[in-house]
Chain A
């Protein structure tokens, strides 16, 4: 190998010693567009999943709150009724019932 061949002034040395697969640059922009579309789809899917979770949580709340309120209301009615019954009893019957519980 000569000194000239290995000189940085040698234009042949400046040539790029690399190749690319055939049509690489023709196909590359489409590859990027495809990837970006897939990422957008995934992002949308994530948003849909998030929406479903939120909707499910709201539905649970909508079902649970009336049930809780209804149960609470029933419980109050039963307690009120018991208190009413006790209020109607005379003192001796009340203590008799209490001692026989």
Chain B
């Protein structure tokens, strides 16, 4: 029996589920938090999305039979929650005729929990020019050092497509950073 099987057994048993789930939260909270935070920037928004992620995971735990790694499964939920949040934000910004990436960057600069220097601000501004999925891939590879196989499992995209996407993203960002020095 694998470690995941033992964990799933504990999660599926009414007497041990709550305690086992608290351990799951403790183990995965940081990785998921940073995964979300790099997309939505603001701590409070990240906190809301992370809570929703774990509540959805708890509700769906009975249906989860261990087809994937529990970490991959949680990353998928967190990613979906993040994309939904960003889509809502985009729609709200469009109603007021604003560009949501500009809004995100303004909020990032004003966030008391952002402590990046000038170079990091420029990098974040450049990352925001990428399409959403490319931004996700770039963050997972560049900041989190995830392998293409791990990213592929989470995003259900082939490793070939991921490599191409990451390559285009780095080229674009390098170009923007180079031009920002002129």
Contacts and interface: CB of A to CB of B under 8 A. Distances in A.
Those 4 A-B pairs whose CB atoms lie nearest each other, nearest first: A17-B116, A17-B120, A6-B177, A29-B25
Interface of A: 1, 3, 5-8, 10, 12-21, 24-25, 28-29, 31-33, 35-36, 39
Contacts of A15: 120
Interface stretch (B48-56, B72-80, B94-102): B48-56
Contact of B178 (A6, A14, A21, A35): A6
Interface stretch (B2-10, B28-36, B62-70, B155-163): B28-36
A28 to B, nearest CB: 5
Given A3-B181, A18-B37, A31 B51 contact: yes
Contacts of B38: 16, 18
Interface residues on B, range: 35 or more
Given A19-B114, A25-B33, A32-B25, 20 more contacts: A1-B181, A3-B181, A5-B119, A6-B119, A6-B122, A6-B177, A8-B173, A8-B174, A13-B123, A14-B142, A16-B34, A17-B116, A17-B120, A28-B25, A29-B25, A29-B29, A32-B51, A33-B18, A33-B22, A36-B55
Contacts of A31: 51
Contacts of B50: 28
Contacts of B118: 1
B105 interface: no
Contacts of B41: 18
Interface of B: 18, 21-22, 25-26, 29-30, 33-34, 37-38, 41, 43, 47, 50-51, 54-55, 58, 113-124, 142-143, 170, 173-174, 177-178, 180-181
A8 B113 contact: no
A35 B55 contact: yes
A41 to B, nearest CB: 14
A31 B124 CA distance: 30
A20 B43 CA distance: 7
A100 to B, nearest CB: 78
B22 A19 contact: no
Contacts of A20: 33, 43, 113
Given A8-B174, A32-B51, A36-B18, A16 B181 contact: no
Nearest to B41: A18
Contacts of A12: 119
A5 B118 CA distance: 10
